[in-house]
Chains A and B, each alone.
Chain A
């Protein structure tokens, strides 16, 4: 079993839809949670960061962490074609060897 599980998709939605992307994890020590966005043929870029449990909102994006369920989510409101990309969750913990553990990524396509 992988430490971090993520549905690979692909996920196709119409423009303007609300998108929900999710990851589950098994290591209860994880305390730093991130979402990276990766456009085709590019390197990933940090999109959202959350420490421990709770929500964080940034424009159309909301990140949620539920540590009791070992479950994190990324919501995209009013999705746009420019949101079409692969979204990777990533997580770590203090003393984790300075490493991030990534999910496999979910490929999202927002259609006109």
Chain B
């Protein structure tokens, strides 16, 4: 059982370049999330999706776009990368059984993508 898989694991971009980060989950989860993690800032939500074909903005959405064409995949795009987007990016998924966060509705995280923008 692979869980949540992120590709690539590492990437170096030049300012202005574009790229797409791929997240795939094999747990049939409805909800998927993209976070970035920076020193002293913790995990900050970029975008999330509550089901196939849906997306919503999180805390820091500017400069990023997302798509959820298939339930198992959640793509994060950077159209014109900036040095401020240097970060570690984590994808997560979650099953959903009702309102709130039940004790078995934890986030399953991928192992992250280290992105450097020069």
Contacts and interface: CB of A to CB of B under 8 A. Distances in A.
A95 B50 CA distance: 14
Chain B's interface size range is 20 to 34
A60 interface: no
A92 B103 CA distance: 12
Interface string B46-57: 001010000010
Contacts of A32: 100-101
Interface in B82-104: 90, 92, 94, 96, 99-101, 103
Given A32-B101, A98-B50, A8 B40 contact: yes
B100 A88 contact: no
A93 B106 contact: no
Contacts of A41: 111-112
Chain A's interface size range is 20 to 34
Contact of A44 (B41, B56, B109): B109
Interface in A81-99: 88, 92-95, 97-99
B69 interface: no
Given A46-B106, A100-B101, A104-B40, 10 more contacts: A31-B100, A42-B111, A43-B90, A43-B109, A43-B110, A43-B112, A44-B107, A94-B100, A99-B48, A104-B41
Interface string A29-44: 0011010100001111
A51 B103 contact: yes
Interface of A: 4, 6, 8, 31-32, 34, 36, 41-46, 49, 51, 88, 92-95, 97-100, 102-105
Contact of B43 (A88, A94, A97): A88
A99 B40 CA distance: 20
